[in-house]
Amino acid sequence: MSRCRPLATWLTAAVLALSAGSPALGNGGKSKATVYEAELRQPASTGDVRFSASLERVLFGITSVAGKYKVIRIQIDNFSRTTLRLAGNRDRVAVDLGNRTVAGILNLSSTDRALWDSLPAELRQALAYPPVVEPGEQESVFVFLAEPSLTALPVALRYRIDSRNLELDLVERGPTAE
């Protein structure tokens, strides 16, 4: 039983440290997600393409991939009648942190080959940058940030899509209950 005590003490200290300065709200306020959104508006007859990312402050602050990267998932919903073409070697995501901007990594396979090769094949397939988002489909784009100690949530995500010569700002919609 005495072997469990140091772990319990450590876990209690970690929870207290993470909750310092943030009240434990009965309405779920401590676990509300911040949602970032943008829309690619098209003529009414063809439909829009929506981009969104949802980040939860506590989880974003304490999680990283292999102790090297923070990850943000951008969901793309193509409600249009046209294919959205993407290009991992030409598209860009920049994460605005307010006081500085961090470049996102869209192709982890070309940036950190050792980590990429260590992942199971099905995970590599899920994390790979999609070449297209077909009409009526949804795809996820995983943005890796080489900032494992980052704890503050972004102010905005700037997503440049080369095929459309377009830069979208995914901006905060506001907290929502998760």
Mean residue pLDDT across the chain: 84
pTM (two decimals): 0.80
Instruction: For residues 15-26, give the mean pLDDT.
Output: 44
Q: Collapsing DSSP states into helix, strand and coil, what is residue 160? A: strand
Domain ranges in the chain?
Answer: 25-176
Residue 41: is its pLDDT beyond 90? no
Tell me what pLDDT residue 18 has.
43
Q: Tell me if 105 sits within 8 A of 69, measured CB to CB.
A: yes
Q: How does pLDDT run across 102-161, given as a tens digit for each residue?
A: 999 999 999 999 999 999 999 999 999 999 999 999 999 999 999 999 989 999 999 999
pLDDT value, residue 32:
83
